[in-house]
Amino acid sequence: MVHVKLSDFLSRIVSEAEFDVEINAGSTISDFISVLIEGLGAEFRKAIVDRNGKLHGGIAVILNKRFIPPQQIEEHTISQKSNLSIIPIAGGG
């Protein structure tokens, strides 16, 4: 099981802030996000990925308290008992 924690913005879309999801051995973060999208629906999908299925530039993935750069989510594997957070990145100047 992977423990998922969503930002306040995303948790309002799916009505849950934290939950556990079963994963297959050897899954990448990208695979896992696809599973989340399938389970959480179209509004969640629109909030985190673009039309091509790539993470929006304003979304960060944190795996076990470590930021995973967007270009690494397709190669980086995720294991059982991991903690994954999906949060928007604040911008500004």
- The 10s digit of each residue's pLDDT in 35-84 is 999 999 999 999 999 998 889 988 999 999 999 998 999 999 999 999 99
Domain range 2-88, its CATH number among 1.10.630.10, 3.30.70.3040, 3.90.76.10, 3.10.20.30:
3.10.20.30
Distance of CA 72 to the CA centre of its chain: 13
pLDDT of the residue at 89? 84
Tell me the C-alpha to C-alpha distance, in Å, between residue 42 and each of 1, 36, 57, 64.
Answer: 23, 11, 18, 26
Instruction: Find where tokens 């999906």 sit.
Output: 86
**Closest alpha carbon to 16 in 47, 49, 40:** 40
**Closest alpha carbon to 56 in 14, 89, 9:** 89
pLDDT of the residue at 91? 58
